[in-house]
Structure 1
Amino acid sequence: MNPDVRRELIPRDEVLYLIGVLDGMKAKLLDAAEQWQLLDDTGRVPSTPAYADLIQHAAGAHTLAHGVVELAADFARSPHSTTRAGRAVLAHLATAATLSSNAPPRFTETAETALFLAGNPITNRYRANSMVLDHATARAYLRRTSESLGAAATELNNHLGLHQLFPTPSRQQSPPSPPPGPGTRRR
């Protein structure tokens, strides 16, 4: 096998581990985006949205974003980030880190606005609309982060295909050791 191609291969075990991590994070982000709702069953903002629930969305999004940023940082520090596949994965992880980091402030703004819903109905309508936009935007950031992590996992799955094209030699397939050099036999 060409030594350049071998250097480009990320070890199979590490690829499989990373795919598992990416799939787990992707699922958590999608679950959060689906479960963290602002609107009630009728599709309206509740008259008194619970600040505690909304700030918990921000805290949860912060935790998820922290995990994504840490994963991107860890991968960037690895020697695999300099390979062709690694650069593609890192690009998706960088996008995911950026997107996930934008979700918590939007959830926080939603929670803060919920504290000020009182008084003038026109002002309340404006604030409620602002809450809906901020909350929906935050959830969209989570979904898009999940998509970026999925794209990184796809890159790694494609990379596994290279492992099938260039399997590592087993002990039986290894070339025989070279014969002893001249002058190494003594009588």
Structure 2
Amino acid sequence: MPDPTTDQTLHELQQLSLSLRHAFEQLELLDSTGQVPASPLVAKLIQHVGVAQNLSHSTAQLAAGFVVRLDTPSDDLSQAHSHLVTAVARTCSAAALFARTTQTSTSPSSVPGTPDAERRKWAMVLDHAEGRAELRRASEALSATAKHLKDHHYLQQFLSKALGRATDVPKAAPPTPRHSR
């Protein structure tokens, strides 16, 4: 019999993992030529921060609800929980990196072509790229969480069936005593 709680949690994990992957693919800093725009749109970068914060909040909420499932701890549930907490940390990190990108974009511009201008541009590129990578890693962590939750569920089903059948098996006759010769 399927466990509706497990099914619901697996669905939520899959949906959130897809949302994280979609955000990773969609949140771009570079323009169509692969360059940092001369004046990055601050509103666009703030939107990236908001997306990452919303995903972080959703991941944290899912993790908080998952803790209740650890009432029957198992190795798979412990590993699932660990991956879920990793996803929370990664989404928080992504939000911070996007915020830092936005902050850098609003800092006073240096004269184009100078070392300061190049450092500023590359700081934005690296922070934004790392933020996107954190979203991808969070998605992977949620996929790993789902795998461990499925493994736990299958093991519980197996044990339940095995123990249920064990009680239906006729008891063996007690061993007969051996006589020494």
TM-score range with shorter-chain normalisation?
A: 0.7 to 0.9
Q: Which residue of 2 aligns with 1:137?
A: 130
Contiguous gaps of at least 5 residues in structure 1: 1-10, 176-187
Q: 1 CA distance for matches of 2:33 and 2:47?
A: 22
Which residue is equivalent to 2:179?
A: none
| Superimposed CA distance per residue, residues 143-178 of structure 1 (whole angstroms, 9 cap, x where no aligned partner) | 000000000011122233325524569xxxx98xxx
Q: After superposition, where does 1:28-177 map in structure 2 within 5 Å? A: 28-80=19-71, 82-116=73-107, 118-121=109-112, 122=114, 123-166=116-159
CA distance in 1, matches of 2:106, 2:39: 9
In 2, Cα distance between equivalents of 1:107 and 1:162: 40
TM-score (norm 2): 0.81
Distance, in Å, in 1 between the alignment partners of 2:66 and 2:153 is 17
Deviations along 1:72-96, whole A, 9 cap, x unmatched?
1221134446333321211111111
Corresponding position: 1:27 with 2:29: no
* Contact 2:87/2:141 (8 A) holds in 1: yes
Please tell me the root mean square deviation across aligned C-alpha atoms, in Å: 2.1
Label 1:80 to 1:134 Cα distance change in 2 as closer, same or farther (>3 A). same
**1 CA distance for matches of 2:144 and 2:151?**
11
- Percent pairwise identity: 35
Provide closer, same or farther for how the CA distance between residues 98 and 108 of structure 1 changes in structure 2, counting only shifts above 3 A: same
Q: Which amino acid aligns with 1:131?
A: M
Contact 2:77 2:152 in 1 (8 A): no
Structure 2 portions without partners, runs of 5+: 169-181
Letter in 2 for 1:145: A
Normalising by structure 1, what TM-score?
A: 0.78
Which whole-Å deviations, capped at 9, do the CAs of 1:8-49 have from their partners, x for residues lacking one? Answer: xxx722211111000000000000011000001111100011
